[in-house]
Amino acid sequence: MNKSAMTTAASFAFDASRCLICSARNLNMCGALEQDELSKLSKIARCESFGSGEALFHEGDTANTVYNITDGAVRLSSTLKDGRRQVIGFLFSGDFIGFSDRPNYPWTAEAVRGAKVCRFGRNDIAKLGRELPKVEHRLLEMATSDIASAQEHITMLGQGSAAEKVSSFLLMLSRKAAQRGGVANPVHLPMTREDIADYLGLAFETVSRCFTRLENEGLIAIGSIRVVRIKDAEALADYSENE
Amino acid sequence: MNKSAMTTAASFAFDASRCLICSARNLNMCGALEQDELSKLSKIARCESFGSGEALFHEGDTANTVYNITDGAVRLSSTLKDGRRQVIGFLFSGDFIGFSDRPNYPWTAEAVRGAKVCRFGRNDIAKLGRELPKVEHRLLEMATSDIASAQEHITMLGQGSAAEKVSSFLLMLSRKAAQRGGVANPVHLPMTREDIADYLGLAFETVSRCFTRLENEGLIAIGSIRVVRIKDAEALADYSENE
DNA sequence: CGCAACATTGAAGCTTCTCAATTAAGGTGG
DNA sequence: CCACCTTAATTGAGAAGCTTCAATGTTGCG
């Protein structure tokens, strides 16, 4: 988006507890991986940092790198010929980027207000997967989790009214924050209303109106633009599946 | 749906060329698998046949079986509390059912006008995956392919107008039929208009109107209710990404 | 042949989108 | 640190598209 943004790539210490098969969400594999396996992993990892709005890669680029997010948030999106944009997902610490069967990335990945990642060569990971079945198995687990997320997204897009979509979105962000060890309730929204709109298949004005409406109905309190406090989680959950 | 439908489960010969890691779409693994590996696979497979509308399993059932479709079509759907239904996908010969990280199925799988499948115990497949890295690898490939399909579905739901959605749907069915070795052009639609509507997040009347409109505009010809001939694939493709 | 499920078509209503104006927030340079 | 400027967010009014309700036509199965 911001073409003049410099690539602030910088090496920093490899933190196995945050990389690939050791995501914060699924610590079980950490104990299972032996020390020499972890060191093999760290040898092929390269850590980088991206500034706000900066792209990890663009749609169509040769897909020879995969990523594991260690901090911040990343927005995955596809752009149609006429300029419309679909946000495929928001990824956070512990999430993996790179499940694709095509030689070129089918989406653009951009840091939302900054992100830190571990990058791996695709060939390196493939090779490591052949050497260490545990790595391949962990990749399958993460792909399966991605499928579940995508299917929830599908149901939200297909069956939800605008208010239902926004409610579901807030609850999802809250749940994800808790899963990675953060606070669940004052929900932090690193993305813009337009990002949310493109994720939910709505106009950004509609998203804004829904926030206002949910606040007027007493279900949420909008502290600042980027911080929403859930006042009535139950009512919000009802909203997100019934209206 | 039809509770009185009898389970017409029946054993038939194990056809490795149609099962699991040897889907019609991805024959490369077939050569890679050794004969004794194939025999291990066949030992844990059980083939079954389902009649029109019959359920392979329901949402919430204990998920101890996975499936590979060998013939026909299967509809995967989730139902919301208030009865609305989202069709997550239509699966055909060669497709795999069962990528889920939860102990219970998050969707219902039903045969659309009949289907044949190979079923595998989840534990058996997991065990085989540990023994044969190739199997685990093939599972990862199939999961990756599922992710790509889900993401296309997301973009269609989020950004498409009704006509775009229907156009994309027809082209997708055509492409999928070609991929599994069938005819691409007179597209065969085993599912009802309501099934399509629940897949596309539309009312079934809207789907019907879109078919009529596309026919009036000369892009398709509706031979019978379940057979659509694509007359102008290029215009249809333009529709599906621009409108 | 007749019934039930599926599909088409029409008209009215409602949700969401688009266009437009205003307000708030964030970042930069003086 | 403040003023300014740019970007993001809110709010309103009108238009468009989709849904709903209702009636009719079609298909396929017992």
Nearest residue: Cα versus C1' of D27:
B225
pLDDT of B178 above 50: yes
The pLDDT score that the predictor gives to residue B21 is 47
Q: Min CA distance, A15 vs chain B (Å)?
A: 26
Average pLDDT, 10 consecutive residues per value, chain A (243 residues): 35 45 40 62 86 95 94 96 95 94 96 93 90 89 95 96 97 95 94 98 98 96 94 90 55
pLDDT reported for residue B151: 97
List, as own/partner pairs, every contact residues B150-154 make where C-beta atoms lie below 8 angstroms and the sequence separation is at least 24, other chains included. B150/A147, B150/A150, B150/A151, B150/A153, B150/A154, B150/B89, B151/A78, B151/A88, B151/A106, B151/A107, B151/A150, B153/A150, B153/A154, B153/B89, B154/A86, B154/A88, B154/A150, B154/A153, B154/A154, B154/A157
Q: Which nucleotides of C are covered by protein (CB under 7 A)?
A: 6-11, 15-20, 24-27
Q: What's the CA B201/C1' C19 distance, rounded, in angstroms?
A: 27
Give the separation between CA B187 and CA B224, rounded to whole angstroms.
11
Total-model pTM: 0.89
Q: Which residues, in sequence order, are bridge partners of residue A108? A: A77
Does B79 have pLDDT greater than 80?
yes
Q: What is the pLDDT of residues B209-221, one digit of tens each?
A: 999 999 999 999 9
Could you give the CA distance from residue A49 to residue A93 in angstroms, rounded to a whole number? 13
Q: Which pLDDT belongs to residue A202?
A: 98
Other Cβ atoms less than 10 A from the Cβ of B234: the count is 9
Binary contact (A242, B81; C-beta < 8 A): yes
> Nearest chain B Cα to A78, which residue?
B155
Among chain A, residues having any CB pair with chain B shorter than 8 Å are 78, 80-82, 84-86, 88, 99-102, 106-107, 129-130, 133, 136-137, 139-141, 143-148, 150-151, 153-155, 157-159, 198-201, 241-242
pLDDT of residue A35: 64
B10 to chain A nearest CA, in Å?
30
Domains of chain B from N-terminus onward = 3-146 (2.60.120.10), 158-242 (1.10.10.10)
Q: Name B230's Cβ contacts closer than 8 Å, sequence gap at least 6.
A: B170, B171, B174, B185, B187, B219, B220, B236
Closest-approach residue (CA) in chain B for A132: B133
**Average pLDDT of chain B?**
86
**Separation of B87 CA and D23 C1' (Å):** 28
Name the residue with higher pLDDT: A22 or B78: B78
DSSP A190: -
Q: ∠ CA B61-B41-B10 to the nearest 5 degrees? A: 55
CA–CA gap between residue A70 and residue A59 (Å, rounded) = 22
Q: Which of B84, B141, B143 sits opposite A144 (nearest CB)?
A: B143
The answer to whether some atom of strand C lies closer than 7 Å to the beta carbon of A8 is no
Q: How far apart are CA B224 and CA B120, in angstroms?
A: 37
Give the mean pLDDT of B122-134.
89
| Separation of A112 CA and C11 C1' (Å) | 47
For residue B43, name the pLDDT band (cuts at 50, 70, 90): confident
- Between B82 and A15, the more confident residue is B82
> CB–CB of B134/B33 below 8 Å?
yes
Contact present, A29 and A21 (Cβ < 8 Å): yes
Instruction: State pLDDT tens for residues B147-165.
Output: 999 999 999 999 999 999 9
Which chain A residues are Cβ-neighbours of B147 within 8 angstroms?
99-100, 143, 146-147, 150
Contacts of residue B100 in chain A, CB cutoff 8 Å? 144, 147-148
**Nearest CA among B9, B34, B53, B40 for reference residue B190:** B53
Residue A178 in tokens: 């808790």
- Per the CB < 8 A criterion, the answer to whether A175 and A184 are in contact is yes
Q: Is the pLDDT of residue B28 over 60?
A: no
At residue B34, the pLDDT reads 60
Per DSSP, what are the bridge partners of residue A49?
A: A116
Residue indicated by tokens 């610490």: A93
Q: Which of A148, A153, A199 sits opposite B101 (nearest CB)?
A: A148
Q: Using DSSP, how many helices (H) and how many strands (E) does chain B show?
A: 8, 9
User: Could you count the other beta carbons within 10 Å of the beta carbon of residue A29?
Assistant: 16
Which of A66-75, B54-63, B234-243 shows the lowest per-residue confidence on average (mean pLDDT)? B234-243
pLDDT of residue B33: 58
* Number of helical H runs and strand E runs in chain A: 8, 9
Specify the higher pLDDT residue, A18 or B144: B144
Residues of B with Cβ-Cβ distance to A136 under 8 angstroms: 133, 136-137, 140
Counted across chains A and B, CB pairs separated by less than 8 A come out at 123
**Which residues of chain A make contact with B242, given a CB cutoff of 8 A?**
80-82
pLDDT at residue B238 in the model? 86
Q: Which residues of chain B are within 8 Å of residue A81 when distances are taken between CB atoms?
A: 241-242
The pLDDT score that the predictor gives to residue B239 is 80
The pair of three-digit structure tokens given for residue A212, joined into one six-digit string: 């206002």
Cβ atoms A68, A96 nearer than 8 A:
yes
